[in-house]
Structure 1
Amino acid sequence: MSEQSQFHVWVMRAAFCLLVLVILFFQILPLQTQPGQWAPPDLLIGFVFAWSVRRPEYVPPLMLAVLLMLADLLLQRPPGLYAALVLMASENLKGRARALRASTLVAELVTVAMLMVAVAVAYRLVHKVMLIDTAPMGLSLLQLGLTILSYPLVVLVTHSIMRVRKTGPGDLETAGGRI
């Protein structure tokens, strides 16, 4: 890999870290003092999945694990549970990136939605087995639905504003010789 493309990969990794930190900042910002009647979409998982499909080399597993663990700690979730589930789903998406590269946005959305549902069900199931209090089912379903519905917007922002696009045949050098 040339120095310029290697530098670009590291710049994009830093940009992803900054994006995650900005999302976390707005999630912990105390805008309301009362519990809300709705839960906003989980943009963190949306961006993790969008970047994992488009450019897997921008979100290495160790960096992603550290950022997701930080999110668990800051959002006062059980440390490592959500991070592990999202990391496993992200790695699954990275493995499917080659097939998803040639597919449409609808096929990608269906795949991502299935993984989001799997993460939400596994997270809730572990909470129930460990007798940890969970949010009401309606609120969790609303957040999951909004997260799935917001995924096309996340993809639009990722593609148009952040310039993170799916690799093509001309991107051999950046992908490490494989596409």
Structure 2
Amino acid sequence: MEIDDDYENVEDKNIKDTFGPQTQNHKKCRGSRCLLLLTVGLGIICVLLLIFVILQHIRVLSLSDKQGWFFMPTHAKNWSDSRQYCRERGADLIIINTEEKQRLVSSFTTNIVWIGLSDTENEGNMKWVDNSPLKQGFWVEGEPNNLGDIEDCVDLNPERPILNNRNDLSCSYEIHSICEK
């Protein structure tokens, strides 16, 4: 009987004046409601993180080159048609004349793409579309090989090592490209 008296005293005690947990005055999160709140909270965090990553990627692509920005046509074309597509939109095939830009472009493309480098004007003398000479090649080992004197245009293959991923190829192949404005 003494134990019952102790429990009665505890129940009668004014617990508002204590420092311990006070569960009587707080609602508990129970079952599916708690799971729903947790799921919504995590979903909001994921969406915000995704938006942040996308904005960072867009910023890198648009501000990485002080002269302009890049875009990729959605359809594969030969080198000449790719260049024409870019020029109709106030751009040209991309010029990659620094290691920094080589690393950047190689990091965001997933397809083999045409770049603005060829020796169509003067066999064996690679020039960019703005007529500037090639300074750094970043070639796949053994390239350019100008196989059969028909490989006059240059592609970038992102599956190869970043600093060794360029290849000369026949300009008639239809692959994707990168334009630079």
Q: TM-score, normalised by structure 1?
A: 0.25
Q: Hey, which of these two has a bigger chunk of helix by percent?
A: 1
Q: Hey, which of these two has a bigger chunk of strand by percent?
A: 2
Larger Rg: 2
Higher relative contact order (CA 8 A, sep 6+): 1
Q: TM-score, normalised by structure 2?
A: 0.25
